[in-house]
């Protein structure tokens, strides 16, 4: 999930973005110092798929933010890739999601925050999911914990920057983010879990499993968003007609 549409920015929002950028920079320093890809061919394949998934984005109503399916590959990275590879998958996805087919040309600060936000979220999900005690460590536990950390942190960071930039209540924004994104994250986490379970086969087999599944998830959720927006417009229209009818009878 990435943020768009920032206009004139208050000082607290600038300070917050600077803090998240500093955290992301520290993460990238760690990535650079520990870069050691375990299987470069597999990483390139999934990085390419994550880039494609990031271009398949949906704008969330009332939030000036978008969500894409690149988080599926971040979750797969928790189980299949090293820390550096997983962070780069998240970072590359954030850049594509921020720059590809936007309604208006994004400002550098928007791209910077989006990239920093997903870098921090990916790093936190990786570190915490890999901190499970040895006796409880399993792919399923890792995926569940990583998905929870990622969705809570991602929606929280984006909601907070919107609240600071626009002066809107954080609680309402975060609640709205969860309402729109939780089903998407839930289905995506299931797809990531299936792909990780299939990782004992060939790389191509995992790719063939993820690609059509992520397309179906994207198509269904886009239709869900459109249907929800149309229903909301219809309800507002009916309420307006009822008010006008009542006003006419009262004359």
Residue 176 clears pLDDT 50, i.e. is over it: yes
Q: For the residues 41-65, what does the mean pLDDT come to? A: 79
C-alpha–C-alpha distance, residues 51 and 70, integer Å = 7
Q: Is the separation of the CB atoms in 83 and 197 below 8 Å?
A: no
**222 CB-near residues (< 8 Å, 6+ apart):** 58
pLDDT at residue 150 above 80?
Answer: yes
Q: Taking the CA of residue 25 as centre, how many other CA atoms within 13 Å lie in the half-sphere pointing to its CB? A: 7
H helices of 56-169, in order, are 70-80, 83-99, 108-129, 139-166
pTM flag (> 0.75):
yes
pLDDT-derived band at 247 (thresholds 50, 70, 90) equals very low
H or E segment and range at residue 209? helix 203-250
Q: Is the CB of residue 66 less than 8 Å from the CB of residue 60? A: yes
pLDDT exceeds cutoff 50 at 133:
yes
Instruction: Show the domain range for 183.
Output: 2-250
| 31: pLDDT strictly greater than 90 | yes
pLDDT at residue 2 in the model: 62
Helix (H, G, I), strand (E, B) or coil at 69: coil
Please give the residue that has the higher pLDDT: either 244 or 71.
71
Q: Please determine, for residue 118, whether its predicted confidence score (pLDDT) is greater than 70.
A: yes
Task: Encode pLDDT of 188-199 as tens digits.
Answer: 777 777 777 665
**Mean pLDDT computed over 172-177:** 82
pLDDT > 70 in the chain, percent: 73
Quote the number of domains for the chain.
1
Q: What residues have CB less than 8 Å from 185, skipping those under 6 apart?
A: 71, 147, 150, 151
**pLDDT (average), residues 156-165:** 90
Q: What is the pLDDT of residues 211-223, one digit of tens each?
A: 676 677 767 666 6
pLDDT of res. 233: 45
Q: Give yes or no for residue 106 having a pLDDT over 70.
A: yes
């Amino acid at each position: 999930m990435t943020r768009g549409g920032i206009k004139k920015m208050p000082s607290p929002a600038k300070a917050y973005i600077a803090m998240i950028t500093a955290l992301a920079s520290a993460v990238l320093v760690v990535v650079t110092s520990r870069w050691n890809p375990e299987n470069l061919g597999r990483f390139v394949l999934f990085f390419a798929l994550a880039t494609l998934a990031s271009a398949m984005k949906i704008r969330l109503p009332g939030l000036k933010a978008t969500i894409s399916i690149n988080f599926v590959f971040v979750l797969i990275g928790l189980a299949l890739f090293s820390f550096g590879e997983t962070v780069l998958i998240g970072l590359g996805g954030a850049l594509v999601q921020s720059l590809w087919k936007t309604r208006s040309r994004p400002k550098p600060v928007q791209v910077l925050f989006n990239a920093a936000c997903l870098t921090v979220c990916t790093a936190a999900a990786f570190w915490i999911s890999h901190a499970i005690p040895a006796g409880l460590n399993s792919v399923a536990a890792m995926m569940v914990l990583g998905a929870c950390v990622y969705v809570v942190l991602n929606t929280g960071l984006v909601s907070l920057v919107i609240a600071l930039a626009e002066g809107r209540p954080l609680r309402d924004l975060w609640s709205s983010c969860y309402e729109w994104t939780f089903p998407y994250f839930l289905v995506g986490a299931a797809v990531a879990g299936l792909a990780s379970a299939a990782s004992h086969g060939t790389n191509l087999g995992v790719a063939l499993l993820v690609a059509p599944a992520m397309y179906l998830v994207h198509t269904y959720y886009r239709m869900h968003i459109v249907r929800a927006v149309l229903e909301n417009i219809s309800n507002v229209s009916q309420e307006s007609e009822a008010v006008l009818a009542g006003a006419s009878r009262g004359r």
